[in-house]
Amino acid sequence: MRKKSTTRTNAAKTTAAKTTATIKEATTKATELAKETVEKAIDKAPEVIEEAKATVNKTVKEVAQKMETKKIAETTIELPGCAVTMTAIEEAVKKDMDAKEISGKEINIYINADQKAAYYTVDGEGADNYRIDLTSL
């Protein structure tokens, strides 16, 4: 009976060896295929990126063409005896603030047509001398 047992053991060992060899071979093939797939993906990546960039640029241009932005060139205020632009008023306010050494984050300008003057506040604070004579611009 020992021979049967040895024969079965040898058969089991042979089967195990064949199975191990088959697994190793399958693993090697799978690894090679995975490497090839990754290499192909890496090779195609620049093409895909360029195609995506082109699509984004095309879309941005199309959207920009559809969005016709209208820009106001200048606003002019006409009062009896004078006409002044908003840009001139803003520059005069900045110059006046520099001369008075006033600084702040938020500047609001108010036009008083009756007095032909522009008053301003800095960060919500104002004073009687925060005034620009519009006839002098």
pLDDT at 4 over 60: no
> How high is the mean pLDDT of the chain?
85
**CA distances, 37 to each of 24, 29, 30, 42, 112 (Å):** 20, 12, 10, 9, 74
Going from N- to C-terminal start, the domains of the chain cover 1-69, 76-136
Rg (CA), the chain: 41
pLDDT at 11 over 80: no
- pLDDT value of residue 76: 93
Could you report the per-residue pLDDT of 27-63, keeping only the tens digit for each?
Answer: 888 888 888 888 887 887 788 888 888 888 888 888 8
Question: What phi, psi does 92 have (nearest 5°)?
Answer: -65, -40
pLDDT at 88 over 70: yes
- pLDDT value of residue 87: 95
Could you report the per-residue pLDDT of 56-79, keeping only the tens digit for each?
Answer: 888 888 887 777 777 788 999 999
